[in-house]
């Protein structure tokens, strides 16, 4: 999908294309419409850079029980490999 905005709208906001993409990605992330990875791709950033942008704006990272359980399973498997 290709998205286009009128040039004057973009100029009036005094934002670059990169900044607009970041704001779009942050908005979608805040609304829980995209994941961290998808938000990073929309913004044209790496996941760590997108997480850094969330931190700069004091925006919470979405982390639910399923994420915790997945992380715990990963830790368990790493511990078993280290034995």
**pLDDT digits 0-9 by tens, 6-25:** 888 778 888 888 999 999 99
Q: Provide the residue ranges of all domains of the chain, joining segments of one domain with +.
A: 7-82
Name the burial class of residue 25, with classes exposed (0-12), middle (13-18) and buried (19+) by CB atoms within 10 angstroms of its CB. Answer: buried
Task: Give 83's pLDDT tier (boundaries 50, 70, 90).
Answer: low
Asked whether the beta carbons of 33 and 40 are under 8 A apart, the reply is: no
Asked whether the beta carbons of 18 and 29 are under 8 A apart, the reply is: no
> What is this structure's pTM?
0.74
Q: Is 11 helix (H, G, I), strand (E, B) or coil?
A: helix
């Amino acid at each position: 999908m290709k998205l286009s905005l009128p040039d004057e709208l973009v100029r009036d906001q005094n934002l670059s294309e990169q900044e607009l993409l970041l704001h779009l990605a942050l908005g979608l992330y805040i609304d829980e419409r995209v994941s961290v990875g998808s938000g990073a791709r929309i913004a044209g950033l790496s996941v760590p850079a997108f997480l850094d942008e969330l931190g700069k704006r004091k925006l919470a990272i979405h982390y639910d029980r399923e994420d915790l359980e997945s992380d715990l399973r990963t830790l368990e498997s790493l511990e078993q490999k280290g034995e």
